[in-house]
């Protein structure tokens, strides 16, 4: 998962390939709560692993549920009529799918509970649900601002004879919460009546479908009246498979519609058109805009059809979350698009109508927003933009699509880790199917002499940017190690075999650790013997050529930081930022002396300095790729700088080259 402060997306051109989606958040948290409230043990397959499900699981365990993991299966033993463990103070983050249903369930069961979340959760309304529960005889009160969490819950005196009134025009989660909680106390028919127009009806369909799987069949009269039959009892179905998330699928459906062309397609595994999730109807909207879509029982395949996309005017009440993706697709349409009946966006993780309008305008769109609609006219002149994500996972995922803009401008996504709420590895999946010309993938080269600290500097810059890292100096050592492990002699007689191995070397650099075919070999390649073997294979021309090809393969989305002696001069001469890192021989000798002394290796500073000066002379006079700064490299003498100061300076140099301005 990307944990950097921001993620720069370079200009992207096309898309193709297959993605496997995580489980649905809406289904995952409903299944967790139903399994917790029923009798028996439920094996839950394909559960979403995200911030929202983690806070729900932590709360259920705190309340006394049994939770075990068996590989990819989560085994949950429900309360089975036992009262939840009390007192309990529950933290539910920003998970509405945990806060609202747990409030209702604990209110009807009774006990001593406090429910809290992050600051944004304390701004999301819950008053209509609380009023319905209070009318039912539940003891629920506010610990802060009336109408909003945090809440305290006590022991109820339930009155079930008259219908329970709940508003349906703010959030469907209020009705869902009551539907899942009231079977616990349905000694008689329990009636829920919805006041106002019920929004997000497909999410209620999910709730009703899952209740039926747990043994409770709710009668529905239109969308106004719901009857939980007397004697209803939640019981475990034994095993439940969680569908892939249809809202998450919308980004890849849109990606296919925008960028899968010339015979390519984006294939999405994990759900099909028969999904129980309402957001699956996003496919219909995408087809209206021009996407070509095929699907089967557990897959969807999308490619570009009409281009530019056709504008759309749509009532989006049935796809409230996925409709955000349509707002970004509208950037690629041939005229203005209007998304209507989206008032629920105002009370989500952020005010999504205001947030989407602000960020779309940064890209150059003409946007009109109202209380329950958004009108988006595509840009006449695209602009590079920093996308503020408001700690909202869907904002971050939606705007990744803007990197396919026809002006070939980069897009910066701030706080990319916010996608952890529902899709922790979204950007990894996105980059696995997004494509662009190698020249569009940015590279920062850090060249310099031995012991200048270029490896440490480069790896930390890569961490800060969320980019790949290449320690080119380790490749000969790695090649020699792999050859020895395969029984090859390090000589000309095995040159072709070693070269073939080098070109496909399964190496990964992770911070300052080095992995070869999944094994940490960081220490193994830093021995004196490893250095001697590296010198032997470096004398083989075919191996050197193979390693040039291997180094080029590290240039992958979203970007690369490469360190060595010829990264900027030979391997990546078109890199947009080249740094030549150096320090005085005296300073480098002192650093190396400290390193070796810490390992118990006896040496002298004078001897190390002489060795470094001699090596500098040899490296600068090599016939092939001599150690010299690239003509356009920026010189960084870190003799008197800390590593943190050097990192900040290079990041500032990178920032100075970006077109985002202060947007």
Where is the binding site for 3-phosphoshikimate, in residues?
A: 25-26, 30, 171-173, 200, 321, 348
Which DSSP helix (H) or strand (E) runs through 434? strand 434-435
As a whole number of angstroms, the distance between CA 95 and CA 626 comes to: 57
Q: Choose the catalytic residue: 46, 321, 415, 566.
A: 321
As a whole number of angstroms, the distance between CA 377 and CA 380 comes to: 9
Binding positions for ATP are: 448-456
Please return the burial class of 426, using the count of CB atoms within 10 Å of its CB with bins 0-12, 13-18 and 19+: buried
Tokens of 33: 């709560």
As a whole number of angstroms, the distance between CA 9 and CA 397 comes to: 12
Q: Contact at 8 Å (CB) between 252 and 291?
A: no
SS3 362: helix
As a whole number of angstroms, the distance between CA 170 and CA 197 comes to: 9
Binding positions for phosphoenolpyruvate are: 25, 96, 124, 173, 352, 394, 421
Q: Is 264 a catalytic residue?
A: no
SS3 386: strand
Q: Which residue has the tokens 């078109």?
A: 574
Tokens of 86: 């009390």
Q: Contact at 8 Å (CB) between 104 and 129?
A: yes
The strand pairing partners of 17, in sequence order, are 266
Please work out, in degrees rounded to the nearest 5, the angle formed at the alpha carbon of residue 575 by the alpha carbons of 432 and 383. Answer: 70
Please work out, in degrees rounded to the nearest 5, the angle formed at the alpha carbon of residue 87 by the alpha carbons of 81 and 91. Answer: 100
Nearest to 564 by CA among 479, 442, 476: 476
- Fill in the DSSP letter of residue 625: S
SS3 632: coil
Nearest to 651 by CA among 559, 523, 574: 559
In this structure, the number of other CB atoms found within 10 A of the CB of residue 257 comes to 28
**What sign results for the dihedral spanned by CA atoms 282, 374, 260, 557?**
negative
Please return the burial class of 640, using the count of CB atoms within 10 Å of its CB with bins 0-12, 13-18 and 19+: exposed
Active site (catalytic) residues:
321
């Amino acid at each position: 998962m990307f944990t950097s402060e921001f993620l720069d997306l370079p200009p992207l051109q096309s898309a193709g390939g297959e993605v496997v989606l995580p489980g649905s958040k809406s289904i995952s948290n409903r299944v967790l709560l139903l399994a917790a409230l029923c009798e028996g043990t439920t094996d839950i397959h394909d559960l979403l692993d995200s911030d929202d499900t983690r806070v729900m699981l932590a709360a259920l365990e705190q309340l006394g549920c049994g939770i075990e993991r068996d590989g990819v299966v989560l085994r949950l033993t429900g309360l089975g009529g036992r009262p939840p463990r009390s007192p309990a103070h529950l933290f539910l983050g920003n998970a509405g799918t945990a806060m609202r249903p747990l409030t209702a369930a604990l209110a009807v069961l009774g006990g001593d509970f406090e429910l809290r979340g992050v600051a944004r959760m304390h701004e999301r309304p819950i008053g209509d649900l609380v009023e319905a529960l209070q009318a039912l005889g539940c003891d629920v009160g506010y610990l802060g601002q009336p109408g909003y969490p945090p809440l305290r819950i006590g022991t109820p005196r339930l009155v079930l004879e008259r219908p329970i009134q709940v508003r349906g025009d703010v959030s469907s989660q209020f009705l869902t919460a009551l539907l899942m909680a009231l079977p616990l106390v349905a000694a008689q028919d329990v009636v829920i009546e919805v006041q106002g127009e019920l929004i997000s009806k497909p999410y209620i369909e999910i709730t009703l479908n899952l209740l039926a799987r747990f043994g409770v069949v709710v009668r529905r009269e239109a969308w106004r009246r719901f009857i939980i039959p007397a004697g209803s009892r939640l019981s475990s179905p034994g095993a439940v498979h969680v569908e892939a998330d249809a809202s998450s699928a919308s980004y890849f459906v849109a990606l296919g519609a925008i960028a899968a062309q010339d015979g390519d397609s984006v294939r999405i595994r994990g759900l099909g058109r028969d999904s129980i999730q309402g957001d699956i109807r996003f496919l219909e909207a995408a087809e209206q805009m021009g996407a070509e879509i095929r699907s089967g029982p557990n897959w969807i395949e999308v490619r570009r059809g009409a281009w530019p996309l056709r504008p759309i005017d749509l009532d989006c009440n049935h796809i409230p979350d996925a409709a955000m993706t349509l707002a970004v697709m509208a950037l690629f349409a041939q005229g203005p698009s209007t998304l209507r009946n989206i008032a629920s966006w105002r009370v989500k993780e952020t005010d999504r109508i205001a947030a989407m309008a602000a960020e779309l305008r940064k890209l150059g769109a003409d946007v009109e927003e109202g209380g329950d609609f958004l009108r988006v006219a595509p840009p006449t002149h695209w602009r590079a933009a920093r996308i503020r994500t408001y700690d909202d996972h869907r904002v971050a995922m939606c705007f990744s699509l803007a990197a396919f803009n026809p002006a070939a401008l980069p897009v910066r996504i701030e706080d990319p880790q916010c996608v952890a709420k529902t899709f922790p590895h979204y950007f990894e999946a996105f980059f696995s199917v997004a494509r662009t010309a190698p020249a569009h993938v940015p590279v920062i080269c850090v060249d310099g002499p031995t012991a200048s600290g270029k490896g440490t500097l480069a790896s930390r810059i890569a961490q800060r940017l969320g980019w790949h890292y290449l320690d080119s100096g380790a490749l000969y050592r790695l090649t020699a190690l792999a050859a020895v492990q395969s029984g090859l002699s390090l000589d000309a007689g095995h040159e072709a075999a070693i070269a073939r191995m080098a070109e496909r070397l399964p190496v990964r650099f992770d911070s300052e650790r080095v992995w070869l075919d999944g094994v940490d070999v960081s220490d193994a390649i830093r021995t004196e013997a490893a250095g001697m073997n590296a010198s032997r294979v470096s004398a083989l021309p075919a191996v050197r050529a193979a390693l040039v090809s291997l180094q080029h393969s590290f240039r992958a989305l979203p970007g690369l930081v490469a360190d060595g002696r010829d990264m900027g001069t030979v391997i990546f001469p078109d890199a947009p930022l080249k740094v030549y890192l150096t320090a005085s021989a005296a300073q480098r000798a002192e650093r190396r002396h400290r390193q070796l002394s810490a390992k118990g290796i006896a040496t002298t500073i004078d001897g190390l300095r002489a060795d470094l000066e001699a090596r500098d002379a040899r490296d600068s006079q090599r016939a092939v790729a001599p150690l010299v700064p690239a003509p356009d490299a920026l010189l960084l003498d870190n003799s008197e700088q800390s590593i943190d100061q050097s990192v900040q300076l290079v990041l500032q140099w990178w920032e100075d080259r970006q077109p985002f301005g202060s947007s």
